[in-house]
Chains A and B, each alone.
Chain A
């Protein structure tokens, strides 16, 4: 598979965002708007030094920016870079959603033709329901349970 120019950048981005502690830091920064390594360290079960290291990784991935204010650097989330990361996730996820919808359609159409074949093969009267196979087809409990439900979000 071809790798494009952005691959290295994106790998940095995703390894940055792949770490649970760094995601917690992003969550705090998104909620608070800005924070210093010290204030993040106070809210997380890691040392200020560990927080500083994580901030370097996030900064290198472009996910946070430092603003010098007072004695200690303040960090903010780069919304555009974060949106870009989330959009990539959404693209790959959407590809799977469409594949799974197709799997569902194909499997259900095979099942329907199997059921139809079974009825005409095993029973001369097609109206007679096959006992074990489909106990309550006629009073299907959940009408709202339509094919695409639950796969779209």
Chain B
């Protein structure tokens, strides 16, 4: 029925078998961000760094979304705002805020992610952004889940 989560944020945490320094680089460096999210990423990975991320398979047909780094404190905090309009400065009310917190955990890293801004901007916008950003990588999303799903089916039969 109603999920336990609040409706104005998404919160996730996961353990990664890599040092906080490595994880920080993967979540903040545009070179790496391109590998896990948009097709293009152009921004300085420093506090206040403004730029854009692009979705699309070729350069002529790229949808650009505004992106601005809020805080960058290696290797423990990286936050940014995205989806504000061109020419606007990213702020509460015109963009979604994503905060990554990193904490050493054993040999690896505990990564926490919180995205907020849905109350101010509306979920339809977030959904459109999410679908746009991920339809290309749909298989990346479904393939890792397949074994789990098959397992569920087996358990049911």
Q: Do residues A18 and B113 form an inter-chain contact, with CB atoms below 8 A?
A: no
Q: Do residues B32 and A106 form an inter-chain contact, with CB atoms below 8 A?
A: yes
Interface string of B1-39 (1 = CB under 8 A from A): 111010110101111111100110111000010011100
Interface residues of B in 86-142 (CB under 8 A from A): 107, 109, 111, 113, 115, 118-119, 121-134, 137, 140-141
Q: Do residues A27 and B145 form an inter-chain contact, with CB atoms below 8 A?
A: no
Q: Do residues A26 and B2 form an inter-chain contact, with CB atoms below 8 A?
A: yes
Contacts of A26 in B (CB 8 A): 2
Assess whether A17 is interfacial by the CB under 8 Å rule.
Answer: yes
B37 → A minimal CB distance (Å):
5
Question: Which of A3, A89, A100 is B14 in contact with, Cβ under 8 Å?
Answer: A100
Q: Do residues A108 and B7 form an inter-chain contact, with CB atoms below 8 A?
A: no
Q: Do residues B14 and A1 form an inter-chain contact, with CB atoms below 8 A?
A: no
Q: DSSP majority for the A interface?
A: helix
Interface residues of A in 6-54 (CB under 8 A from B): 6-7, 9-11, 13-15, 17-18, 23, 26-27, 30
Cα distance A4–B122 when bound, in Å? Answer: 12
Q: Do residues B16 and A104 form an inter-chain contact, with CB atoms below 8 A?
A: yes
Contacts of A96 in B (CB 8 A): 10, 12, 113, 115, 130
Are A18 and B7 also in contact (CB < 8 A) when A1-B65, A92-B126, A114-B22 are?
A: yes
B56 → A minimal CB distance (Å):
13
Assess whether B148 is interfacial by the CB under 8 Å rule.
Answer: yes
Using a Cβ–Cβ cut-off of 8 Å, how many residues does chain B contribute to the interface with A?
A: 54
Using a Cβ–Cβ cut-off of 8 Å, how many residues does chain A contribute to the interface with B?
A: 50
Assess whether A68 is interfacial by the CB under 8 Å rule.
Answer: no
Are A103 and B10 also in contact (CB < 8 A) when A1-B129, A4-B128 are?
A: no
Q: Do residues B141 and A106 form an inter-chain contact, with CB atoms below 8 A?
A: no
Q: Do residues B141 and A103 form an inter-chain contact, with CB atoms below 8 A?
A: no
Q: Do residues A3 and B124 form an inter-chain contact, with CB atoms below 8 A?
A: yes
Assess whether B79 is interfacial by the CB under 8 Å rule.
Answer: no
Contacts of A4 in B (CB 8 A): 124, 128
Nearest opposing residue in chain B for A94, CB measure = B141
Assess whether A72 is interfacial by the CB under 8 Å rule.
Answer: no
Q: Do residues B141 and A108 form an inter-chain contact, with CB atoms below 8 A?
A: no
Write the residues of chain B forming the contact surface with A, with a CB cutoff of 8 angstroms: 1-3, 5, 7-8, 10, 12-19, 22-23, 25-27, 32, 35-37, 63, 65, 83, 107, 109, 111, 113, 115, 118-119, 121-134, 137, 140-141, 144-145, 148
Write the residues of chain A forming the contact surface with B, with a CB cutoff of 8 angstroms: 1-4, 6-7, 9-11, 13-15, 17-18, 23, 26-27, 30, 82, 85-86, 88-89, 91-104, 106-108, 110-111, 114, 134-135, 145, 148, 150-152
The 6 A-B residue pairs with the shortest CB-CB distance in the complex, in nearest-first order: A10-B124, A111-B18, A98-B141, A95-B130, A11-B122, A102-B36
Q: List 7 A-B contacts (CB under 8 A).
A: A1-B132, A11-B121, A89-B123, A95-B130, A99-B134, A101-B144, A103-B111
